[in-house]
């Protein structure tokens, strides 16, 4: 059986941590930043875990299943 291609958009958007968790970046951090507080911009800069409801479909896109 041939290998499954990884979805190109998914591999650019998600990172896999050392423990195997899938991480994502936050949205709303690219422009119109003047009206956002320092705290909000700082928190948007960190990675977040994938929601459990999207975990299986994200694994399929990344070729992890």
pLDDT for res 2 = 82
Question: Which residue range forms the structural domain that includes residue 24?
Answer: 8-62
The per-residue pLDDT for range 3-57, each reduced to its tens digit, is 888 999 999 999 999 999 999 999 999 999 999 999 999 999 999 999 999 999 9
Q: Which of 3, 32, 26 is nearest to 13 (CA)?
A: 26
Residue 1 pLDDT > 80: no
pLDDT for res 47 = 96
Q: Is residue 49 part of a domain?
A: yes
Q: Is residue 2 part of a domain?
A: no
Q: Is residue 3 part of a domain?
A: no
Q: Report d(CA 47, CA 16) in Å as an integer.
A: 11
Q: Is residue 47 part of a domain?
A: yes
Give how many domains the chain has, as a whole number: 1
Domain with 48 in it: what CATH number? 4.10.410.60
Beta strand extents in the chain (DSSP E only): 14-16, 22-24, 48-49
pTM for the model: 0.77
């Amino acid at each position: 059986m041939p290998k499954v291609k990884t979805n190109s958009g998914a591999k650019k958007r998600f990172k896999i941590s050392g423990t195997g968790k899938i991480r994502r970046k936050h949205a709303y951090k690219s422009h119109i930043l003047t009206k956002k507080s320092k705290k909000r911009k700082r928190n948007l800069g960190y990675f977040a875990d994938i929601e459990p409801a999207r975990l299986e479909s994200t694994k399929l896109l990344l070729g992890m299943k």
